Structure formats: structure tokens, C-alpha cells
């Protein structure tokens, strides 16, 4: 117990001593003290020693002890060779958000628009050769009060022809190349919404910041906003940026040497394919589409020029995420058929429903199937995505560059010269397509044609006294988790398919097939 009381007394004494020490922000005391009455030579020795040891905090406290010593110790604190001390103090105040220190340094002659090396003031990026202004530093470390004070003093938002260096959160790649950035880019990249609002709300400053960004930034502002939305899982800054008329004009723009020539929508889809980004992809895509982003083919000279975003995601195998997000936002389920049809064009249904003569190279001889395994996706998942395409209006009559429709391809599996196994697969797949297609997805003529082919096949099986059961669905029934998007309960409700039986009806009794 005595030891604890002793420690408690020492702690209390330490607190009282700390209260007695003046803060750097407190005004100078009016009364004189014995320390104040020391000879000036002693104060010069004390100030020089503290300055050599870089005890700037102690110098700041001594400068607040009395009005007599304030000017002397502030001179020791802020003055130096080539004004290095006052600039260092000014940047320290900017990084710590200390407006009094910034005011004092400015009073001693520190330039508010000075652009200097920030390695000693930015612990977030050591040894990266950072360089920028005090305004950019306050935005980077999110000292918004200090930022507002600087803007009220009329500082330059961007120094002409001198952008910041290595101050944003963008990665320079393996070569660690230097990254030049404007002030607006830094504000968006670091997620500082207050800074973005302050820079864009004033019309004159907003226009100047955008023009400076277009000239010096490696990416477009929208590219930076999309990357920031993925990094912080929030579209707040992206939505605010899209309200700006000048920025919204570049909603489908791109830079040929940046981001692979991707538009903001294409870059969002590329980044959204990663497993960690699914929670943000849908909201980001919705914000871009709401602001006017095109869901049609990508513009010329850009990434995958002329290719529909839906087809691009299908080729990458993102069936349960990005592809379904695009369909929900209004993307054409037929893949934007050009007029005239270009060579090698095909719709999403053509990708999965290939003709019988081409399917031979995809399937093993002992595993007959219509749907190929595409990009590592299971046949059950591909079947579920076909249901989604049909529910959103995909057409079975649309033709490719060779003049064949998806219905033509699937009916090729029901030719009389094929084995009964393939004809049964084709029958079940046609039944599956007709059960899920919408009225606008197939014409009456094509519907009658498919029904006639199915009726002819049933008659052939009866004539051959076949015992094949036609009541089972192709690849088995689908569950809700097959039809829904990851992270959502349900997207498309499954409708029961009609049951079509062959000539014979069979049942299982004790593990054996028994004819009724």
C-alpha cells in the first residue's frame, strides 16, 4: 500500500508540474520572473543549445514565458539560414493543424505559397521524395481548419507548372516512379470530402483546379474518384464530383496512356471483378450510370473498343456479380447488335449456346452436354445466368454474323441422324428455353417451329419404342442461390417448367426402374 501511495503522489506532482509549463499557444506572461531577468548572453546560450539539439518545442515554450523573451526566442525558433527555420515551422504547423504557429511563421516572413520538400513533415511517406505546398499538406493529413485558414488568406490552390510530387495514395508501380498530382487529385485520392467541396464549390477556383488537373494529372478526375470509392467503400465523394458539370462531361472519356485506355465505367468493372470489391461495385456502377455513363459499346480507341460491357464481363466469367449488375442497370441483354453486323459478332446467348458441330471440340466424348464449361463456370451457373438473360429480354431469334440464332443452334442437337442421347439433351434444353423466355424474346413463328420439332421427336421416340424419360430438367432444377446475385436474396424468381413425358412412364421402386 505505501508503494502505491508513493506512485500516486508522484503522478499527481507530475500533472501539477505539467500544468505549470506554458503551452506554445498561450500568450506571453506580463509578470517578470527570475528566469526572465537572466543576462541576455545566458538566453543566447540556452537558445543556441536548444536550437542545435532541435528542441523546437522547448524554444516555443520559452518564447511564451514573457513578453521580453518572446521576440528573442521566436527569432531563434523561426529565423535561420535561407529562412529554413520559418519554413520548417510553417510546415510543422500545417501538418499539426496549429494555426497560431502558422500565423507566427507567416509574420516572420514565411511564404504561404512556398513549395518545399516534405519528407521531414510527412511521416506517412518516408523516403519518397515528397514535395508540395502547405495547402496540399493540410489536405493530405486532413487538417481542415488549417486548410480553411490558408484558403481565407488567398493562397494559390496550385503553383503554376509545379504540381505536387508523391503526395497522393496512388501506387507508382514496381519501378516506384514519381507521381505528379494536382491539389484536387490529392483531395479526392485521400478521401478528404471537405477539401473537395471547398475546391469545387467556388466556380473560379473549381474551373482552375480542373484545368490544372487535366494538364498535369496522370488520370482523369473521375478515374481518381472511382479508385477512391473502391478504396474507402463509399461513393460520397464520387457522387459529389459527378454533380460538377465540367466533370460530368468526361463521364465516357479516357486517356490513351492511362488505365489502359479505360473509361470510368470500364475501370469500375475491371476493379470490381476482385473478390474484395463486390460490396462497392454495384453502388459505383449505379452512380456512374445515373450521371449519364453509357452502357453501350466502348468508344473507339478505348479499352475493348466496340465491345459491349456485358459481353466483356461474360468473357471474364463475372456472371454472378458485374454481369448481373449491368443487366439490372439497363444494359442490353443482346449485347448491342450492330447494324450491319460486324464479323465475329455474337450475342451473350450465342456465347453459351453453340451449334452441335462446334460443341464436339469442347465436350469429352463420354460426357455429352450442350453447355460448355466457360471461364471456369459450372454448367449449373451458366444455366442460371441464361435464365437471367431471358428474363431481362434476351432474344432467341437474334442472328450472328453467320445468320444463325440461338434457337437454330440448340435445334441442331435434335437432328434425326444424332444419337438418342444428344436428341434428348436438345429436347430438354429447348423445353428449358421456352419455359423462361419472355414474349418479346421469341416470335410466334419461332415458337411454332420449336414446338413442331419437339413434337416430331416425341413421335420418333414412340415409333422406336424408346424408354427415355423427358420429364427431368436439363442439368437439374435451379435453386434461389443460383439465380441471385452474391450478397442479395433473390433477383429472378424461377417459374415451374412444363412436364413433357415420352411414350413410356417409369418410376423407381426399391432402386429399380419399373414401368407403370
Q: Give the pLDDT score at 78.
A: 67
**Section 373-387 average pLDDT:** 78
Residue bearing cell 524554444: 59
Cell of 65: 514565458
The answer to the question of residue 334 being in a domain is no
Residues 6+ apart with CB under 8 A from 376: 317
Among the listed residues 192, 275, 273, 261, the one whose alpha carbon sits nearest the alpha carbon of residue 223: 261
Q: Are strands 180-181 and 164-165 parallel, antiparallel or unpaired?
A: antiparallel
Q: Give the pLDDT score at 80.
A: 59
Question: Which one-letter DSSP state was computed for residue 166?
Answer: S
Q: In whole angstroms, give the CA distance from residue 389 to residue 99.
A: 59
Percent of the chain predicted with pLDDT > 90: 27
**Section 410-431 average pLDDT:** 84
The answer to the question of residue 502 being in a domain is yes
Q: In whole angstroms, give the CA distance from residue 37 to residue 41.
A: 11
Q: In whole angstroms, give the CA distance from residue 510 to residue 516.
A: 14
Least confident of 33-47, 142-156, 317-331: 33-47
What is the band of 491 on the pLDDT scale with cuts at 50, 70, 90? very low
**Section 161-185 average pLDDT:** 77
Among the listed residues 209, 229, 224, the one whose alpha carbon sits nearest the alpha carbon of residue 259: 224
Cell of 53: 539539439
HEC secondary structure over 325-363? HHHHHCCCCCCCCCCCCCCCCCCHHHHHCCCHHHHCCCC
Task: Kindly report, residue by residue over 430-442, the tens digit of the pLDDT.
Answer: 988 999 999 999 9
The answer to the question of residue 112 being in a domain is no
Q: In whole angstroms, give the CA distance from residue 247 to residue 256.
A: 18
The answer to the question of residue 384 being in a domain is yes
Q: Give the pLDDT score at 488.
A: 46
- CB-CB contact of 352 with 310 (8 Å): no
The answer to the question of residue 381 being in a domain is yes
Task: Kindly report, residue by residue over 18-58, the tens digit of the pLDDT.
Answer: 444 444 455 444 445 677 777 766 777 777 777 777 676 77
- CB-CB contact of 216 with 180 (8 Å): yes
The answer to the question of residue 71 being in a domain is no
CA 506 from centroid of its chain's CA atoms: 54
Q: In whole angstroms, give the CA distance from residue 253 to residue 239.
A: 17
**Section 328-332 average pLDDT:** 93
Residue bearing cell 519518397: 128
CA distances from 287 to 133, 200, 230, 264 (A): 33, 19, 13, 11
- CB-CB contact of 195 with 241 (8 Å): no
CA distances from 184 to 72, 140, 397, 466 (A): 40, 11, 50, 74
Residue 15, pLDDT > 90, answer no
Residue bearing cell 455429352: 368
Q: What is the dihedral of CA 350, 333, 337, 432, to 10 degrees?
A: 40
Three-class DSSP category at 298: strand
The answer to the question of residue 373 being in a domain is yes
Among the listed residues 260, 276, 363, 362, the one whose alpha carbon sits nearest the alpha carbon of residue 312: 260
What is the band of 476 on the pLDDT scale with cuts at 50, 70, 90? low
- Burial (CB count <10 Å: 0-12, 13-18, 19+), residue 339: exposed
Q: In whole angstroms, give the CA distance from residue 204 to residue 215.
A: 17
57 CB-side CA count, 13 A: 3
- CB-CB contact of 368 with 308 (8 Å): no
CA distances from 67 to 30, 177, 443 (A): 6, 50, 94
Q: Give the pLDDT score at 483.
A: 53
Answer with the residue of higher pLDDT: 382 or 34: 382
Q: In whole angstroms, give the CA distance from residue 295 to residue 266.
A: 10
Q: Are strands 506-509 and 115-117 parallel, antiparallel or unpaired?
A: unpaired
Task: Kindly report, residue by residue over 288-320, the tens digit of the pLDDT.
Answer: 999 999 999 999 988 888 899 999 998 888 888
Q: Which helix (H) or strand (E) holds 291?
A: none
Q: In whole angstroms, give the CA distance from residue 497 to residue 435.
A: 6
Q: Enter the pTM of the model.
A: 0.75
Domain count, the chain: 1
For residues 139-163, b (16+ Cβ closer than 10 Å) or e, as one string? bbbbbbebbebbbeeebebbbeeeb
Domain that holds residue 368: 358-515
Task: Kindly report, residue by residue over 62-119, the tens digit of the pLDDT.
Answer: 776 766 676 666 666 666 555 667 787 788 888 888 888 888 888 877 888 888 887 6
Q: Helices (DSSP H) in 97-220: which residue ranges?
A: 99-107, 134-140, 144-152, 183-189, 193-201, 203-216
- Burial (CB count <10 Å: 0-12, 13-18, 19+), residue 181: buried
Q: In whole angstroms, give the CA distance from residue 237 to residue 196.
A: 8
The answer to the question of residue 368 being in a domain is yes
Q: In whole angstroms, give the CA distance from residue 34 to residue 99.
A: 31
CA distances from 13 to 3, 6, 7, 19, 331 (A): 15, 11, 10, 10, 71
Task: Kindly report, residue by residue over 199-239, the tens digit of the pLDDT.
Answer: 988 756 778 888 898 888 888 899 999 999 998 889 999 99
Amino acid at each position: 500500500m505505501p508503494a502505491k501511495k508513493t506512485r500516486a503522489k508522484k503522478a499527481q506532482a507530475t500533472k501539477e508540474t505539467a500544468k505549470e509549463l506554458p503551452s506554445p499557444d498561450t500568450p506571453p506572461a506580463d509578470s517578470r520572473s527570475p528566469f526572465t531577468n537572466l543576462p541576455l548572453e545566458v538566453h543566447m546560450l540556452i537558445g543556441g543549445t536548444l536550437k542545435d539539439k532541435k528542441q523546437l518545442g522547448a524554444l516555443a515554450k520559452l518564447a511564451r514565458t514573457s513578453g521580453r523573451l518572446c521576440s528573442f526566442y521566436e527569432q531563434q525558433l523561426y529565423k535561420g539560414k535561407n529562412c529554413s527555420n520559418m519554413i520548417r515551422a510553417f510546415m510543422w504547423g500545417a501538418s499539426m493543424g496549429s494555426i497560431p504557429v502558422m500565423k507566427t511563421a507567416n509574420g516572420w516572413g514565411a511564404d504561404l505559397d512556398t513549395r518545399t520538400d516534405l519528407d521531414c513533415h510527412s511521416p506517412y511517406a518516408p523516403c519518397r521524395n515528397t514535395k508540395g505546398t502547405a495547402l496540399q499538406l493540410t489536405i493530405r493529413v486532413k487538417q481542415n481548419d488549417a486548410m480553411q485558414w490558408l484558403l481565407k488568406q488567398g493562397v494559390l490552390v496550385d503553383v503554376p507548372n509545379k504540381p505536387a510530387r508523391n503526395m497522393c495514395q496512388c501506387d507508382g508501380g514496381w519501378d516506384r516512379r514519381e507521381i505528379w498530382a494536382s491539389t484536387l487529385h490529392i483531395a479526392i485520392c485521400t478521401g478528404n470530402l471537405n477539401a473537395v467541396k471547398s475546391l469545387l464549390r467556388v466556380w473560379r477556383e473549381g474551373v482552375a483546379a480542373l484545368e490544372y488537373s487535366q494538364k498535369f494529372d496522370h488520370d482523369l478526375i473521375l478515374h481518381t474518384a472511382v479508385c477512391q470509392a473502391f478504396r474507402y467503400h463509399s461513393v460520397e465523394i464520387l457522387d459529389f464530383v459527378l454533380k460538377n458539370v465540367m466533370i460530368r462531361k468526361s463521364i465516357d472519356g479516357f486517356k490513351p496512356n492511362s488505365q489502359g485506355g479505360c473509361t470510368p465505367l470500364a475501370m469500375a468493372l475491371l476493379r470490381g471483378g476482385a473478390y474484395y470489391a463486390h460490396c462497392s461495385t454495384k453502388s459505383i456502377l449505379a452512380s456512374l450510370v445515373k450521371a449519364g455513363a453509357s452502357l453501350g459499346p466502348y468508344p473507339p480507341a478505348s479499352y475493348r473498343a466496340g465491345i459491349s460491357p456485358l459481353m466483356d464481363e461474360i468473357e471474364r466469367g463475372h456472371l454472378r456479380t458485374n454481369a448481373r449488375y449491368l443487366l439490372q442497370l439497363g444494359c442490353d441483354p443482346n449485347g448491342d447488335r450492330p447494324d450491319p453486323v460486324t464479323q465475329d459478332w455474337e450475342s451473350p446467348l450465342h456465347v453459351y449456346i453453340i451449334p452441335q458441330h462446334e460443341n464436339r471440340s469442347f465436350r469429352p466424348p463420354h460426357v455429352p452436354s450442350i453447355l460448355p464449361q466457360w471461364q471456369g463456370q459450372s454448367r449449373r451457373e451458366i444455366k442460371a445466368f441464361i435464365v437471367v438473360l431471358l428474363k431481362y429480354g434476351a432474344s432467341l431469334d437474334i442472328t450472328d454474323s453467320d445468320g444463325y440464332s440461338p434457337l437454330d443452334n440448340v435445334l441442331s442437337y435434335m437432328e434425326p441422324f444424332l444419337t438418342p442421347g444428344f436428341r434428348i439433351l436438345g429436347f430438354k434444353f429447348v423445353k428449358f428455353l421456352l419455359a423462361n423466355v419472355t414474349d418479346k424474346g421469341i416470335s410466334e413463328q419461332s415458337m411454332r417451329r420449336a414446338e413442331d420439332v419437339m413434337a416430331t421427336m416425341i413421335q420418333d421416340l414412340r415409333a422406336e419404342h424408346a424408354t427415355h424419360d423427358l420429364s427431368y430438367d436439363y442439368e437439374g432444377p435451379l435453386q434461389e442461390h443460383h439465380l441471385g446475385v452474391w450478397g442479395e436474396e433473390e433477383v429472378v424468381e424461377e417459374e415451374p417448367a412444363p412436364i413433357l413425358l415420352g411414350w413410356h412412364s417409369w418410376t423407381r421402386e426399391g432402386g429399380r426402374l419399373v414401368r407403370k
